[in-house]
Structure 1
């Protein structure tokens, strides 16, 4: 039995639900409201699909928006549906339809910010359980099918395969969220992406449905959330919401939510084989082979922790005063980085086998 391990400085809300036994295996601050960031895109998609008729036909123009919104967290699609479908009214409708307890529209003064919708870990479990257990099959298959095809690089070039996607082997389906002032993303190899929009500098109140009390949803600290299902037949529903100290680099937040997620008791989950190591350097390329001449596949968030599956000798890399000809294979990326960028004092990692 695991218990939630929350890294220093992180505020977390966690819920893990085992659909086979009908019980929660983890709950920590499960009813606490966080700003949803892009997790609210689940509700935008479900609202669009609600009562669309017996065949749930999706027009081509909407399919072209919804698929990247669910797979790659496209913000322009969310902007579109927030604008044309009523903004905060979407949230009010979905609260009533799904019986959500802690979900609320963005606070007064921020009605145009869909990512400021209040959401809790336990309500997120309710959303996924509706999709899996009550939604019409075309709705379930469309939404969950796209979440199973989550892209590593989001539309804004942030690496979104943190948390669930890094902690467990497939099958999984994920909808992630991030909000706040992070360094620019560098997930792809086409240059530096734009930074995330700045969060509000001060928190604002949002009402909690069903309680009559006002709560404060933190709009200032950087947020990073991982939600979805894990295991065969979507056995476990996992929701992890986190806030990080102002100024936290993206790679640090990515690493912290990964460590927290790996600490959870998630029934049906398979954990990847390998050893976790920290890295250093900004924009380190993951390459197809152990050479700087091999094509780059993507870039690591600066300072992120990575899973190393094996290592082998390759091209000698020099970053004065260091040189190293060992390369680490990262199975979750399908490529290599020079061991010179692994946070370890020796060239060869002591507990990692050579690649066969």
Structure 2
């Protein structure tokens, strides 16, 4: 969820952190089951299976980092590049799919589509995501667009359950590249990075810099003052454990990085946020060690 890429993000004061925890707790209550991810009026789904954890029962976590300034085409991975539930990070992919479909039709987004897209990214509005998920054709539409965007390991969630889409950290870097990567050459072949027009890319980027302050956590913890991101969180029915994810573009010491951190198996949302932020910092520290 155009002007400058990213806003300033000073370290939150204790009161802000407490406010964030309260906001996250409220969000957790609203997302306390997989059925929250269903469209309004749909019958409850069968409970989802518990997320996989390590043999010691610890949460899983995987990070992927790609430097945009060094010409690298492959991200550096930290942890196993396994599949995770997306939760609300899928909303970036939903918007990219919507924009690609609009491009194919030779039109701009309608006022109603923008009225859904903007709260879907900026405030992670689920009702807006429900509407756009139906509009793009659910998993079929998403996967068709992802082939053109360069994603190879993302499977759309069943039926109305967009939050149960499965993805990998490296595939999230591919999606971020399609939004944030270089412009390419006018005469060169069409690539995954140029499947979206510059106007479409700028729209997604702008929304990702304008997320609500209570959601300004995740990979942005590893940045300086500039970032654009989308986070996702979901508590699973059967286990009570949390999926917590964060993806985005950050700037560190003048260098630009795409970062994706996916996790599951945390005992609380706060624990998951702490894990994601710690992992993002460690991955960026390793990536920037030679700079």
Q: TM-score range by the shorter chain?
A: 0.5 to 0.7
Equivalence for 1:264: 283
Compare the two structures and name the one with the higher helix fraction: 2
* 1:1-356 correspondence to structure 2 within 5 Å: 9-23=58-72, 26-29=76-79, 31-53=81-103, 57-106=108-157, 110-133=158-181, 134=194, 135-153=196-214, 160-180=215-235, 199-201=236-238, 221-231=241-251, 235-245=256-266, 248-265=267-284
Deviation at 1:21, TM superposition (A): 1.6
The two structures, once aligned, show a CA RMSD in angstroms of: 2.7
Q: Encode CA deviations 1:21-55: one digit per residue, 9 max, x unaligned.
A: 23356312453110111111111101111143498
Deviation at 1:173, TM superposition (A): 0.3
Deviation at 1:119, TM superposition (A): 0.7
Q: Go from structure 1 to structure 2 and tell me whether the alpha carbon gap of 1:30 and 1:67 turns closer, same or farther (over 3 Å shift).
A: farther
Deviation at 1:254, TM superposition (A): 1.9
In 1, the alpha carbon distance for the partners of 2:106 and 2:200 equals 10
Deviation at 1:111, TM superposition (A): 2.2
In 2, the alpha carbon distance for the partners of 1:72 and 1:234 equals 27
Q: Indicate the SS of the match to 2:283.
A: coil
Deviation at 1:97, TM superposition (A): 1.4
Q: TM-score scaled to structure 1, two decimals?
A: 0.56
Compare the two structures and name the one with the higher strand fraction: 1
How many residue pairs were aligned?
217
- The answer on whether the counterparts of 1:69 and 1:78 sit within 8 Å (CA) in structure 2 is yes
- The answer on whether the counterparts of 1:172 and 1:234 sit within 8 Å (CA) in structure 2 is no
- The answer on whether the counterparts of 1:242 and 1:257 sit within 8 Å (CA) in structure 2 is yes
Q: Indicate the SS of the match to 1:68.
A: helix
Equivalence for 1:327: none
- The answer on whether the counterparts of 1:230 and 1:268 sit within 8 Å (CA) in structure 2 is no
Deviation at 1:123, TM superposition (A): 0.5
Gaps of 5+ in 2: 1-53, 182-193
In 2, the alpha carbon distance for the partners of 1:112 and 1:55 equals 27
Q: Go from structure 1 to structure 2 and tell me whether the alpha carbon gap of 1:56 and 1:16 turns closer, same or farther (over 3 Å shift).
A: farther
Gaps of 5+ in 1: 1-5, 154-159, 181-198, 203-219, 270-356
Deviation at 1:58, TM superposition (A): 2.2
Q: Indicate the SS of the match to 1:235.
A: strand
Q: Work out which of the two has the higher radius of gyration on C-alpha atoms and give 1 or 2.
A: 1
Q: TM-score scaled to structure 2, two decimals?
A: 0.67
Q: Go from structure 1 to structure 2 and tell me whether the alpha carbon gap of 1:42 and 1:25 turns closer, same or farther (over 3 Å shift).
A: closer
Q: Comparing both chains, which one has the higher relative contact order based on Cα–Cα distances under 8 Å and sequence gaps of 6 or more?
A: 2
Deviation at 1:63, TM superposition (A): 1.2
